[in-house]
């Protein structure tokens, strides 16, 4: 991998953060955008005007390092030269086609490229625009294939906010007002979160011989997985489970707080599905395309799900997603009779297809999957070393370049500390580092930088966090 220093520069902050230009834009935005969309405070947001590699510039001319890769999209870095060239060339030739009627030629090439990389001998693909849509195509496929309307989803799951995807997303804030409109056939299982296992999981583990007096942290990972699988099996075998046709799971929970299930979980889920004739849907929208150090997150356990959902990193920066499965599953969709049962105006958008083709090549040719694995390992160790000095960092976890720092008010009880996470976020931004908070409590610092970010910047991020934690400690 070539490291381009001009696209991997340390931050340069020349104004207050946010500066006057960003503050003015925030004021203008508030007058035209619905108030729920962009969170505004005296500390946020900054308005992006330009990005290259791991760097982002704001309206005040400040340069930042993007430790989020723009929600995990810019895996190849922002505006990678090859992606940029592909976008420019495609835009000059054909900007928009008729996706499911008279498709753009480049759609064929993208589907072939995805098919070549999918873990199926005879794959079939439906393209979407957003991650949420890819999930909904998967859920529709499962319904058509099994004839069953429900899915088993996991606590802490994030699959998107369209009505279908929201039906399997576990966030009270997003669901509550719309609860009566969401799929009533979803059943909820426990994700084996090794750091903060749920009460239900602990109870299930107790039934299996684990002593409830034991601290949760002492539970063997294998026992946690067994307990999670037992609970999932109970649900599937219950009356509500009769209406369930699919299990949908993130190989590593992303917005749920970078939660890595112990080994054996995905294989166990696949077994549960096989025994009952259910489909396993892996939502790889965050974990796919190298993020976790393998091409797909499910590969880490050698699991081939029935259906794969991908998005985000697929293009390096254009909106496109895909639902991929083998022909025997995907052929649950009937032949088109002239009206596609699932399509959108922008299906197979040519510029996004061209960007995806370029991004896939960059990931391969720059060895970014391996790079995510190695850089992630090294970075996690550095972060762990730093975290040892700060008991408020309860856990450093993740896989590849998908890392979470779980901030706690008390390391004994592991009580989440979202306020602290928010303060770290603000202090990091002031120093020129963009991060996000995640997890159901909002207490996890979520780090998902471009896969080709410079090692120097990764170490710089650790130094920055070290400084921020020290400063906050002395406050």
Catalog residues that contact ligand PMP under the rule CB under 6 A: 71, 130-132, 135, 158-160, 250, 254-255, 283, 285-286, 311
Residue with the closest Cβ to ligand PMP? 131
Question: What's the closest the beta carbon of residue 216 comes to ligand PMP, in angstroms?
Answer: 25
154-175 residues labelled b (16+ CB within 10 A) or e (exposed): bbbbbbbbbebbbbbbbeeeee
Please name the residue ranges forming H helices in 118-209. Answer: 131-146, 163-166, 172-175, 199-207
| Residue 23 or 110 having the CB closest to ligand PMP | 110
Instruction: Identify which of 247, 253, 298, 297 has the alpha carbon closest to the alpha carbon of residue 142.
Output: 247
| Residue 353 or 420 having the CB closest to ligand PMP | 353
Task: Please report, to the nearest 10 degrees, the dihedral formed by the alpha carbons of residues 91, 96, 101, 105 taken in order.
Answer: 0
| Residue 175 or 430 having the CB closest to ligand PMP | 175
Element at 192 (helix H, strand E): none
Instruction: Give me the phi and psi of 426, to 5 degrees please.
Output: -65, -45
Question: What's the closest the beta carbon of residue 68 comes to ligand PMP, in angstroms?
Answer: 11
| Residue 224 or 310 having the CB closest to ligand PMP | 310
Q: What is the C-alpha separation between 311 and 138, in angstroms, rounded? A: 13
Question: What's the closest the beta carbon of residue 411 comes to ligand PMP, in angstroms?
Answer: 28
Residues in the chain: 475
Q: What is the C-alpha separation between 439 and 354, in angstroms, rounded? A: 34
Question: What's the closest the beta carbon of residue 288 comes to ligand PMP, in angstroms?
Answer: 9
Question: What's the closest the beta carbon of residue 98 comes to ligand PMP, in angstroms?
Answer: 23
Question: What's the closest the beta carbon of residue 163 comes to ligand PMP, in angstroms?
Answer: 12
| Residue 160 or 245 having the CB closest to ligand PMP | 160
| Residue 285 or 369 having the CB closest to ligand PMP | 285
| Residue 132 or 146 having the CB closest to ligand PMP | 132
Question: What's the closest the beta carbon of residue 169 comes to ligand PMP, in angstroms?
Answer: 8
Half-sphere exposure of 191 (CA within 13 A, CB side): 27
- 3-class DSSP state for residue 48? strand
């Amino acid at each position: 991998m070539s490291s381009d220093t001009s696209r991997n520069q340390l931050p340069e902050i020349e104004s207050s953060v946010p500066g006057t230009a960003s503050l003015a834009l925030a004021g203008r935005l508030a007058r035209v955008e619905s108030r729920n969309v962009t969170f505004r405070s005296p500390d946020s947001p900054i308005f992006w005007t330009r990005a290259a590699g791991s760097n982002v510039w704001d309206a005040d001319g400040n340069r930042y390092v993007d430790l989020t890769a723009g929600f995990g999209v810019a895996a190849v870095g922002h505006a990678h030269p090859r992606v940029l060239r592909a976008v420019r060339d495609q835009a000059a030739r054909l900007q928009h086609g008729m996706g499911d009627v008279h498709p753009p030629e480049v759609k064929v090439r993208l589907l072939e490229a995805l098919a070549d990389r999918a873990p199926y001998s005879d794959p079939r693909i439906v393209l979407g625009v957003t991650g949420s849509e890819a999930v909904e195509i998967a859920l529709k496929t499962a319904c058509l294939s099994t004839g069953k309307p429900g899915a088993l989803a996991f606590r802490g799951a994030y699959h998107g906010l369209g009505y279908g995807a929201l039906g399997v997303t576990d966030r009270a804030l997003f669901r509550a007002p719309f609860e009566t409109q969401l799929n009533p056939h979803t059943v909820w299982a426990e994700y084996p979160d090794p750091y903060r296992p749920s009460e239900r999981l602990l109870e299930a583990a107790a039934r299996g011989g684990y002593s409830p007096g034991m601290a949760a942290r002492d539970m063997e990972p294998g026992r946690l997985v067994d307990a999670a699988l037992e609970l999932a099996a109970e649900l599937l075998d219950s009356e509500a489970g009769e209406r369930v046709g699919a299990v949908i799971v993130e190989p590593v929970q992303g917005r749920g707080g970078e939660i890595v299930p112990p080994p054996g979980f995905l294989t166990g889920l696949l077994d549960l599905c096989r025994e009952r004739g259910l489909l396993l849907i892996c939502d790889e929208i965050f974990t796919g395309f190298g993020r976790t150090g393998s091409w797909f997150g499910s590969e880490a356990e050698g699991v081939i799900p029935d259906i794969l959902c991908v998005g985000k990193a697929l293009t390096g920066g254009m909106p496109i997603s895909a639902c991929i499965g083998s022909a025997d599953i995907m052929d649950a969709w009937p032949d088109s009779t002239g009206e596609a049962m699932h399509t959108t105006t922008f299906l197979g958008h040519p510029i996004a297809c061209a960007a995806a083709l370029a991004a896939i090549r960059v990931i391969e040719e720059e060895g970014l999957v391996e790079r995510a694995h190695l850089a992630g390992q090294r970075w996690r160790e550095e972060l762990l070393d730093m975290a040892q000095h700060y008991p408020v960092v309860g856990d450093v976890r993740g896989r590849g370049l998908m890392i979470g720092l779980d901030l706690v008010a008390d390391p004994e009880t592991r009580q989440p500390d979202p306020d602290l996470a928010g303060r770290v976020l603000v202090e990091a931004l002031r120093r020129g580092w963009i991060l996000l908070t995640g997890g159901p409590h909002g207490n996890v610092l979520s780090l998902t930088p471009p896969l080709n970010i410079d090692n120097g910047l990764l170490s710089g991020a650790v130094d920055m966090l070290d400084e921020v934690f020290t400063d906050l400690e002395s406050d």
